[in-house]
A and B are shown apart, each in its own frame.
Chain A
Amino acid sequence: MLRLEGITKIFGGLTALKDVSLSVTTGSITGIIGPNGAGKTTLFNIITGLYTQTSGDVYLNQKNISFFPPEVLAGIGLVRTFQNVELFGQMTVLENVMVGLHTKSHSGIFSCAFKMPGQIKEERYIREKALQWLEFTGMADLSGIQAENLPFGKGRLLEISRALAVEPRIILMDEPAAGLNSRETAGLAHLISRIRESGITVVLVEHDMELVMDICESIIVLNLGKKLTEGTPREIQENEAVIAAYLGDG
């Protein structure tokens, strides 16, 4: 589904990523792990169009999406969440998810201002759909709360709900478990599995190894900007190179 070929990214004189190639199969949950500074977030930013790579290409379903800006990527079904939770703080939970449905609606400024019949119908659709997604993530009862007043764990869930509202084919999550307690993490694991079951491919960068080992079918390890190895959780746990990368080779 998602394929990277020879991605290299140089910041100033610093090589953050060097010749990284990988692929993600449709309908899988893939984890990207690696020690701090390995280039995981940089890789995410390149895939989602926030950074431009120095060289290399990104393909989504055989289509080269290397230089697509994020808004276009959202339109063709690629969406992401953020490590630090980027909510629209001044808006309610429901409105946040409604923004997620932006690509699924088309009324222009004119029809919005004049409340054309089509727009009213569309608005109703957006609202219903958004509520559906909030139910999916179990947040429907919080829909009227202003997003910046949510507790952190709920904020994460909202961000995921909002991303789901884009109806993506593939969702990239940047450390979804960071800052969550163990119960929330367990809930998250369950949610991610359900997302996959609904046919969406999931890629996550995660530090919580319990989570990664638990739900990922395939894991890619980055170290010092290069791909170290890839494999199933068990393979990774037993791989000496990975253990060395994490624990040091002393």
Chain B
Amino acid sequence: MAIFISRKLKTMLKIKNINTYYGQVHALKNVSLHLTEGEIVTLIGANGAGKTTLLNSLSGIVPSRSGQILFNDTPINDLYAHQIVKMGISQVPEGRQVFKPLSVEDNLELGAYLYNRKRADKTETKKTGEMVYGLFPILKERRKQLAGTLSGGELQMLSIGRALMARPKLLLLDEPSMGLAPMVAQEIFQVIGNLSREKKTTILLVEQNARAALKLANRGYVLETGRLILEGTAASLLENKEVQRAYLGKDKKEIWER
């Protein structure tokens, strides 16, 4: 039933039947999904559906108990979080968690923590830095300020910028619009769109704001209480009434427990 857009391109990430537990809670139940190079794929679903858990399983913070995660054909289930970053997967954690006691500049520098050994890396880092400042000019203006003094939107930009500094092949975005005023959220989405279009970054976007996310994405998955219930092209999902049901529980009797 899935419709694959870019079959010729290489599959970058493949998740097969993973199960993840938070303490005693079975948070992800047999979830499988895949990402192709250059895509924006969005993962939508109501609060508590397990979206963040999926990202945390990917980035090694809450390792999955069973199943397999292949990144460019390499299994990464058993790697530590910092090793996964090295593989080329960067996560932008939810809630704009930047290092508040450090300056904007330092935050970005830490984003490129992996590249502090070789000189060649350092020049490359400088370039990436310029790129990030290009994306978010406001960060350049504030680069000497402590991150704690930034506004909500700026924090989100910094958080994304920091993840970009690691030069990821795959960017994981966890609810970048959460708690932001609509205008600001829109700005963030615009940048994400640019990233994909201009920098060809592969993006896995977790969102609650389904409409905005689906407008941006190529494909989407819908998660409900730890299970994938739908997948398809963004356009098809936008039309699907089921999505609304997953959020607000309308007409529940028909589709209860599949």
Contact = CB atoms under 8 A, between A and B. Distances in A.
Give the size category of A's interface with B.
20 to 34
Contacts of A175: 48
B226 to A, nearest CB: 9
Contacts of B46: 207, 209, 246
A153 to B, nearest CB: 8
A209 B247 contact: yes
Contacts of A213: 248-249, 252
A35 B248 contact: no
Interface size band for B = 35 or more
B47 A248 contact: no
Nearest to A179: B25
Contact of B178 (A36, A208, A246): A36
Interface string B245-257: 0011110100011
B179 A246 contact: no
B48 A247 contact: no
B47 A210 contact: no
A208 B207 CA distance: 17
B180 to A, nearest CB: 8
Given A210-B249, A212-B249, A242-B248, A248 B209 contact: yes
Interface in A1-54: 12-14, 35-38
A14 B152 contact: yes
Contacts of B22: 179
Interface string A144-186: 0000000110010000000000000000000100110110000
B58 interface: no
A224 interface: yes
A151 B153 CA distance: 40
B215 interface: yes
A249 interface: yes
Complex A-B, nearest 7 residue pairs according to Cβ-Cβ distance, in ascending order = A248-B209, A152-B24, A37-B179, A179-B25, A209-B249, A250-B211, A207-B47
27 contacts: A12-B148, A13-B149, A35-B178, A35-B209, A36-B47, A36-B175, A37-B178, A38-B179, A152-B24, A155-B24, A179-B25, A179-B26, A182-B225, A207-B48, A209-B247, A210-B256, A212-B249, A224-B179, A224-B181, A237-B248, A243-B244, A246-B208, A246-B247, A247-B211, A247-B247, A248-B207, A248-B213
Given A35-B47, A151-B24, 18 more contacts: A13-B149, A14-B152, A35-B178, A36-B47, A36-B179, A152-B23, A179-B25, A179-B26, A207-B47, A208-B225, A209-B46, A209-B247, A210-B252, A210-B256, A237-B248, A237-B249, A247-B209, A248-B213
